């Protein structure tokens, strides 16, 4: 480990944060311009809602598949191979997205983009975790997450200035520019140490062939579930929740603006939870604090009947702040496993959570057959929070854990 790597603001952290910035810009752009882009393709309000659910589900399925591909590659070929390969794929896909003419074309390109986007966060967090001493690890990864999440805010403001197709071109261009910075980043020292050994690296099946390891892996996924329920359902479809038939919110609610406020707050929450974790010397205690904040704002979200658009945006920001626990959740995933499986874990775990969104939407839609839109949503949320809190109670505290070991 070189001298520079001991600083929280080293080149690895800065480039990882910029990479995640571009990743989040591209990942959230569809949610921000969903209504505008689908309306321009000739869809009515109902089709915009249904096609939006379909496309975002397809995008998340791509993230799920990509998470496995890039995770395995990160442990077999190195962390940098993922950072280069994934960014090339999602940059090209986003440029192609500017040319789509139909919903199916849109879904296909978002699927490919999803595969590409899946590699960015996990590889970056793994590289940062392995390049910093354990007493600074949580702060470093929180900075990557917190600063990177500002990408959604930038995507919102760009969407207000440019046509939705140009927004995708800009995202692709930003990704290609990032490749120039990547050239100066060095491979993880821990990975180099095991590269020449005979230890099995990037074997995805190792998460399932050992009961203890499988339990840890499953818990790591379940503790992150509320993030994409909040973003993928409540915030992304805030316009539909605000309608007269549902919460009867006065004023126009723009889902893109709701996402912007949510992610601005997630960015703050992501950095703050790293500092709180450092202060408490515990990942789990910080996690519970932010779960409580998320739960409080979920209740407020469903209690805002006859409220205002400004109130909706404030609550979306509160939800975002609470789900700032994403930073610690991803860090915990990286810290749970040995160097030969760390990239696979850190990449697949957040993408398994992202990939759970289609299942969450299926649950939400099935409940809509028996309940109204709002009731179905809060029941879905209650189920998810219950699962997450139980899973968190079984999770391992990793604050003081030494990462220089391998999985047998």
Give the pLDDT confidence of 156-213 residue by residue, as tens digits: 999 999 999 999 999 999 988 887 776 666 555 555 566 666 677 668 888 898 899 9
Please give the model's pTM, rounded to 2 decimal places: 0.80
Q: What is the pLDDT of residue 278?
A: 87
Token pair recorded at residue 96: 């192609």
What average pLDDT does the structure give for the chain? 87
Instruction: Please report the pLDDT score of residue 2 as a whole number.
Output: 41
Identify the three-state secondary structure at position 308. strand
Per-residue burial over 250-282, b if 16 or more Cβ lie within 10 Å, else e, is: eeebbbbbbbbbbbbbbbbbbbbbbebbbeeeb
Supply the pLDDT for residue 19: 84
User: CA 390, CA 208: separation in Å to the nearest integer?
Assistant: 21
* pLDDT tens digits in sequence order for the chain, 408 residues long: 344 445 666 777 888 888 888 888 998 899 889 989 999 999 998 999 899 989 988 998 898 899 889 888 877 877 777 778 888 899 999 999 999 999 999 999 999 999 998 888 777 777 787 777 777 777 887 888 778 888 888 999 999 999 999 999 999 999 888 877 766 665 555 555 666 666 776 688 888 988 999 999 999 999 999 999 999 999 989 999 999 999 999 999 998 899 999 989 998 998 898 889 889 999 999 999 999 999 999 999 999 999 999 999 999 999 999 999 987 888 888 888 887 888 888 888 988 898 888 899 999 999 999 999 999 999 999 999 999 999 999 998 887 887 777 767
pLDDT for 188 equals 53
Half-sphere exposure of 246 (CA within 13 A, CB side): 22
The single residue listed with the structure tokens 């339990």 is: 215
Q: How many CB atoms lie within 10 A of CB 370?
A: 9
| CATH, domain range 4-181+203-393 | 1.20.1250.20
8 A C-beta contact, residue 84 and residue 179: yes
Q: How far apart are CA 327 and CA 144, in angstroms?
A: 8
């Amino acid at each position: 480990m070189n001298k520079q790597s001991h600083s929280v603001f080293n080149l690895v952290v800065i480039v990882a944060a910029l990479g995640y910035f571009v990743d989040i810009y591209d990942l959230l752009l569809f949610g921000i311009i969903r209504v505008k882009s689908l309306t321009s393709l000739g869809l009515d309000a109902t089709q915009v809602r249904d096609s939006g659910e379909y496309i975002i589900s397809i995008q998340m399925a791509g993230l799920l598949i990509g998470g496995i591909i890039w995770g395995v590659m990160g442990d077999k070929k190195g962390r940098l191979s993922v950072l280069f390969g994934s960014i090339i794929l999602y940059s090209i896909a986003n440029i192609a997205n500017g040319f789509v003419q139909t919903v199916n074309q849109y879904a296909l390109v978002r699927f490919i983009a999803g595969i590409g986007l899946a590699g960015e966060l996990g590889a970056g967090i793994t590289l940062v975790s392995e390049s910093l001493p354990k007493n600074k690890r949580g702060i470093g990864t929180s900075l990557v997450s917190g600063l990177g999440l500002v990408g959604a805010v930038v995507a919102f403001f760009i969407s207000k200035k440019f046509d939705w197709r140009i927004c995708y071109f800009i995202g692709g261009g930003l990704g290609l520019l990032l490749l120039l910075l990547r050239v100066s980043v060095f491979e993880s020292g821990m990975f180099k140490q095991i590269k020449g050994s005979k230890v099995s690296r990037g074997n995805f099946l190792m998460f399932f062939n050992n009961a203890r390891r499988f339990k840890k892996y499953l818990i790591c996924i379940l503790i992150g579930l509320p993030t994409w329920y909040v973003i993928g359902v409540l915030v992304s479809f805030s316009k539909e929740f605000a309608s007269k038939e549902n919460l009867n919110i006065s004023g126009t609610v723009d889902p893109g603006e709701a996402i912007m406020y949510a992610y601005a707050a997630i960015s703050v929450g992501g950095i703050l939870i790293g500092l709180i974790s450092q202060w408490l010397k515990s990942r789990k205690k910080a996690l519970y604090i932010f779960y409580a904040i998320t739960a409080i704002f979920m209740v407020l979200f469903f209690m805002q009947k006859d409220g205002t658009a400004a109130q909706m945006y404030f609550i979306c920001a509160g939800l975002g702040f609470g789900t700032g626990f994403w930073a610690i959740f991803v860090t915990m995933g990286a810290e749970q496993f040995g160097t030969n499986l760390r990239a696979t874990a850190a990449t697949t775990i957040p993408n398994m959570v992202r990939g759970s969104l289609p299942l969450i939407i299926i649950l939400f839609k099935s409940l809509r057959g028996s309940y109204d839109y709002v009731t179905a949503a809060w029941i879905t949320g209650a189920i998810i929070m219950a699962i997450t809190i139980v899973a968190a109670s079984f999770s391992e505290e990793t604050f003081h854990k030494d990462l220089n070991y391998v999985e047998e």
